[in-house]
Amino acid sequence: MNNNEKVFFSLLRLGIGNEGTYCQIPNLDKDWKELFEMSQNQGCSALILDAFDKLIDSGISIDMDFQTKMDWIGSVQQMEVISHWKS
């Protein structure tokens, strides 16, 4: 398992509430983009975004490029809208 996969699973555990507020986070844009792609492929972008909120609430800064951040938020918003209209 590579480092980004470890970070992905750590963020996923944090997002679902199974881990404290400490989590190793990447500091390179390419790593954030890879994590975004992994979360898209696994269908858990919203859970990882929840982990970001928990990290920010605990005072941990997320240094992600603006475009990736907007893509991530937009993706989650689209899923929520689609989910709302299907139910």
* Number of independent structural domains in the chain: 1
Interval 37-68: pLDDT, tens:
999 999 999 999 999 988 888 888 888 899 99
Of 79 and 19, the one with more pLDDT: 79
Confidence of residue 21 (pLDDT cuts 50, 70, 90): low
Other beta carbons within 10 angstroms of residue 72's beta carbon come to: 22
Give the pLDDT score at 42.
Answer: 94
Q: Which domain holds residue 41?
A: 3-86
Instruction: Round the average pLDDT of the chain to a whole number and report it.
Output: 87
Give the pLDDT score at 87.
Answer: 67
